[in-house]
Amino acid sequence: MKIGIVGAGRIASALVTRLAPKGHELMISNSRGAEAVRETAEALGCHGGSAEEAAQFGDVTVVTVPLNAFDTLPADAIGQRIVIDTCNYYPGRDGVHPEFEGGGETTSGQLQRKLLKARVVKAFNSIMSPHLEQGGKTPPSGGTPALPIASDDEQAATVVSQIVRDAGFEPVHAGPLAESWRFERARPVYCRPLDARALQAGLAATRPEDFVPENSWKD
C-alpha cells in the first residue's frame, strides 16, 4: 500500500521503519517541500515531498503534526482518503485548551472537522516513537503489544487495523472518534505496554477525570 505521511518527525520515521519491510511504499513530507526532507527520506529509504504531495501519494494519509498546524493541512489534496491521526494535545507545546481536558473534545474530532471529506482513524498516538520503532515493549503477559484505534468509518478502521498489524501490534477498537479521548495523552492506557485483553479492560475503565502523571508514561 502507498502511504503518504504529512510530517517528518519521530513518529513518521518510526512508521517508515516498521512498515517499509512489509512492502508498503511511503512518503514523508514537510510544508517547505521535498528538499527539506531529502536527507531524512534518503536515510530512511522512502520518498520525500511536500505536504500536498504526501497527501496525494497513496490510499492512506498519515497526519502527524502539532495541533497548531491543523489549519495548514492540504484538505483538498487529502480529499476522501483514509487519514490516520497520530496527533496528541500537549499543553506545554500547544497552549491550554480546556475542551481537551475532560473528554468533551478530541484531537481526532477536531481533525475530522478540518478534513470534512476524509475518513479519520485515530491510531499510533498512544506509543512513544522509540517504542514504535522497536515494535513495542513486551506486555506483562508476554503477549503481543496492542494499540488502540478509533473511527466512525468501519471500512477505514479495517484498513488501518491491518496497518497496525503490519507494524507489529494487535489493534483494539475503542469505538467511534468520540471515544478516542480514552487513549489520548496522559490517560491510564497511554503509552503503556498492554496486550489486547488488558488494553480493552483499561479503555473500558477509563473515566473522563482519569489522568496519570507525565513521568508514569515517559519511560
φ, ψ (nearest 5 deg) of residue 159: -60, -45
Q: pLDDT confidence of 219, banded at 50, 70, 90?
A: low
Average pLDDT over residues 195-215: 94
Residue 204 cell numbers, joined: 473500558
Percent of all residues in the chain with a pLDDT value above 70, rounded to a whole number: 98
φ, ψ (nearest 5 deg) of residue 20: -60, -40
3-state secondary structure 88-146: CCCHHHHCCCHHHCCCCCCHHHHHHHHCCCCEEEECCCCCCHHHHHCCCCCCCCCCCCE
**Three-point CA angle 70, 73, 74, nearest 5°:** 160
Q: What is the pLDDT of residue 218?
A: 65
Beta partners for residue 3, in sequence order: 26, 60
pLDDT at 191 over 80: yes
CA distance 13 to 189: 23
Which amino acid, 215? N
Q: What is the pLDDT of residue 87?
A: 97
Looking up cell 481533525 gives 111
Average pLDDT over residues 109-127: 97
**Three-point CA angle 169, 111, 62, nearest 5°:** 40
pLDDT at 215 over 80: no
For the entire predicted model, the pTM comes to: 0.96
Q: Which residue has the higher pLDDT, 217 or 170?
A: 170
Average pLDDT over residues 136-154: 97
Q: What is the pLDDT of residue 151?
A: 98
CA distance 216 to 170: 23
Average pLDDT over residues 40-59: 95
Q: What is the pLDDT of residue 109?
A: 96
Residue 137 gets which letter from DSSP?
A: P
Percent of all residues in the chain with a pLDDT value above 90, rounded to a whole number: 89
Task: Report the candidate in 127, 110, 109 with the shortest Cα–Cα distance to residue 18.
Answer: 127
From residue 189, how far is each of 16, 87, 186, 203 by CA, in Å? 24, 16, 8, 7
Question: What is the average pLDDT score of the chain?
Answer: 95
Q: What is the pLDDT of residue 104?
A: 79
Q: What is the pLDDT of residue 98?
A: 86
Residue 80 gets which letter from DSSP?
A: T
**Pairing relationship of beta strands 119-122 and 170-173 according to DSSP bridges:** unpaired
CA distance 143 to 214: 25
pLDDT at 102 over 80: no
Q: What is the pLDDT of residue 169?
A: 98
For 69-99, how does the pLDDT look when each residue is reduced to its tens digit (9 = 90+)?
A: 999 999 999 999 999 999 999 999 999 988 8
Average pLDDT over residues 150-161: 98
